[in-house]
């Protein structure tokens, strides 16, 4: 960063204010975003794999930096919202790919997505999705988990992964 600043000037966000440097690597939480910006002085942060486990990291990281979202959302989503995010992901995969591809992708991603659901204690949800043979079974696993969420999810011996 210092080398870029030495050659182009310090980035200010204004025209002629230097080249912005974007930080990258090991961003898994909103605190990681804030730390990288504070420690390096970078103009922004790229988020890669961290978004697989926490697709809502963008909204929580923005909020951690003092930003306000236009839609009024704040903080980490509720368990119900998280399940709806998984459902929307699956629906979009079915819409833009096909059912077989969507099922394969969701099975591959549910371990990542599950890290942010019920403190990663969601084995029944993950198993239900991994063993689903059709869309109806995927939706049944998601709906079953929402029913558990309505009863204040608590990790049980079978759910601890």
Residue 158 lies in a domain: no
pLDDT at 91: 97
On average, the pLDDT of the chain sits at 86
Maximum mean pLDDT: which of 1-15, 30-44, 46-60, 133-147: 133-147
Q: Which of 10, 31, 64 is the last residue of a domain?
A: 64
Residue 159 lies in a domain: no
pLDDT at 153: 53
Q: What is the pLDDT of residues 88-144, one digit of tens each?
A: 999 999 999 999 999 999 999 999 999 889 888 999 999 999 999 999 999 999 999
pLDDT greater than 80 at residue 70? no
pLDDT greater than 90 at residue 160? no
Same domain? For 92 and 134 the reply is yes
Q: How far apart are CA 137 and CA 74, in angstroms?
A: 31
* 15 or 133: which leads in pLDDT: 133
Residue 119 lies in a domain: yes
Same domain? For 58 and 98 the reply is no
Task: Show the tokens assigned to 139.
Answer: 């939706």
Q: Give the range of the structural domain holding residue 53, as residue numbers without chain letter.
A: 2-64
Same domain? For 91 and 142 the reply is yes
pLDDT greater than 80 at residue 72? no
Same domain? For 56 and 12 the reply is yes
* 76 or 97: which leads in pLDDT: 97
Same domain? For 112 and 146 the reply is yes
pLDDT greater than 60 at residue 158? no
Question: With contact defined as beta carbons under 8 Å apart, do 101 and 93 qualify?
Answer: yes
Question: With contact defined as beta carbons under 8 Å apart, do 42 and 17 qualify?
Answer: no
pLDDT greater than 80 at residue 74? no
pLDDT greater than 60 at residue 78? yes
- The verdict on pTM exceeding 0.85 is no
pLDDT at 156: 45
Provide the domain count of the chain: 2
Q: How far apart are CA 147 and CA 33, in angstroms?
A: 34
Residue 157 lies in a domain: no
Same domain? For 55 and 98 the reply is no
């Amino acid at each position: 960063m210092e080398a870029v600043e030495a050659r182009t000037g310090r980035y200010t966000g204004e025209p002629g204010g230097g080249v912005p440097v974007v930080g990258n690597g090991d961003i898994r939480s909103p605190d990681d975003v804030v730390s990288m910006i504070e420690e390096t002085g970078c103009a922004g942060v790229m988020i890669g794999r961290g978004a697989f486990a926490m697709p809502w990291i963008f909204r929580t990281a923005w909020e951690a930096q003092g930003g306000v979202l236009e839609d009024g959302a704040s903080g980490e989503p509720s368990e119900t919202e998280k399940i709806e995010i998984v459902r929307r992901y699956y629906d979009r995969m079915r819409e833009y790919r096909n059912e077989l591809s969507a099922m394969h992708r969701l099975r591959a991603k549910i371990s990542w997505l599950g890290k942010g659901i019920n403190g990663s204690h969601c084995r029944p949800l993950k198993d239900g999705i991994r063993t689903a043979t059709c869309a109806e079974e995927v939706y049944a696993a998601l709906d079953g988990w929402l029913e558990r969420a309505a009863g204040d999810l608590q990790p049980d011996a079978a759910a601890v992964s």
